[in-house]
C-alpha cells in the first residue's frame, strides 16, 4: 500500500499534468523517501522523443527524482503549495539504462545535508533491480510565492 497516493502528492507538490512525475510514495522516513513513476506510452514527451523508439528523456528522470525529493522536503511545511522547492544543482548524474513505456521507475532519495532552506540529496532510479539513473541534487526552498507585477 502506498504511503501517499497521487491525490496526497498533489496536496504537497504544486506540479500538475503534464509535469507531475510522481504517482505514489511507498516509503517515507525523516531523511529518506521512495517514490514511483509509472511510465506509459501516453506520456506527452514520447511524441517527439522518439516517435519510433520511445525513450524517457534523462532530464525528466532527474526531474522525477527532484519531485520525490521535494515531497520529502515539503511534507511537514504548512502551506507547501506556496513554498516551491527549486532545483539548484545536479551533480554526478549518470544514466545507466533506458526507460521505456511500461517501465516503473522506483526512485529512492536520501538526505546528505539539510539546512532550513536547502537540502542536498543523493538518489537512484531503478526499473526492477536495474539502476537506470543516479544523481546528487541540491534543492532550495523558495520564499512564499508572491504575484509578479
**Whether residue 11 has pLDDT greater than 70:** yes
Helix, strand, coil in percent for the chain, rounding step 5: 20, 40, 40
pLDDT of residue 145: 65
Catalytic residue from among 15, 24, 49, 83: 49
Residues 53-88: tens digit of each pLDDT = 999 999 999 999 999 999 999 998 877 777 889 999
pLDDT of residue 58: 97
Residues 86-129: tens digit of each pLDDT = 999 999 999 999 999 999 999 999 999 999 889 999 999 999 99
d(CA 38, CA 104): 5
The whole model's pTM is what?
A: 0.94
In the chain, the domains with their CATH numbers are: 6-141 (3.10.129.10)
pLDDT of residue 79: 73
Closest CA to 81 of 16, 6, 148: 16
d(CA 44, CA 17): 10
Look up 52 and say whether it is catalytic. no
In the block, cell 520511445 appears at 54
- Asked if residue 50 has a cis previous peptide bond (ω within 30° of 0), the answer is yes
Amino acid at each position: 500500500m502506498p504511503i501517499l497516493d497521487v491525490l496526497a502528492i498533489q496536496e504537497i507538490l504544486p506540479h500538475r499534468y503534464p509535469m507531475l512525475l510522481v504517482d505514489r510514495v511507498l516509503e517515507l522516513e525523516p531523511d529518506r523517501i521512495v517514490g514511483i513513476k509509472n511510465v506509459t506510452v501516453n506520456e506527452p514527451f514520447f511524441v517527439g522523443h522518439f516517435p519510433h523508439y520511445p525513450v524517457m528523456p534523462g532530464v525528466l528522470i532527474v526531474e522525477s527524482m527532484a519531485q520525490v525529493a521535494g515531497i520529502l522536503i515539503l511534507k511537514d511545511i504548512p502551506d507547501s503549495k506556496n513554498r516551491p522547492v527549486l532545483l539548484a544543482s545536479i551533480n554526478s548524474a549518470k544514466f545507466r539504462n533506458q526507460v521505456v513505456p511500461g517501465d516503473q521507475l522506483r526512485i529512492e532519495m536520501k538526505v546528505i545535508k539539510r539546512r532550513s532552506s536547502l537540502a542536498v540529496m543523493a538518489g537512484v532510479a531503478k526499473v526492477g533491480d536495474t539502476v537506470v539513473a543516479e544523481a546528487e541534487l541540491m534543492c532550495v526552498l523558495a520564499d512564499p510565492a508572491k504575484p509578479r507585477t
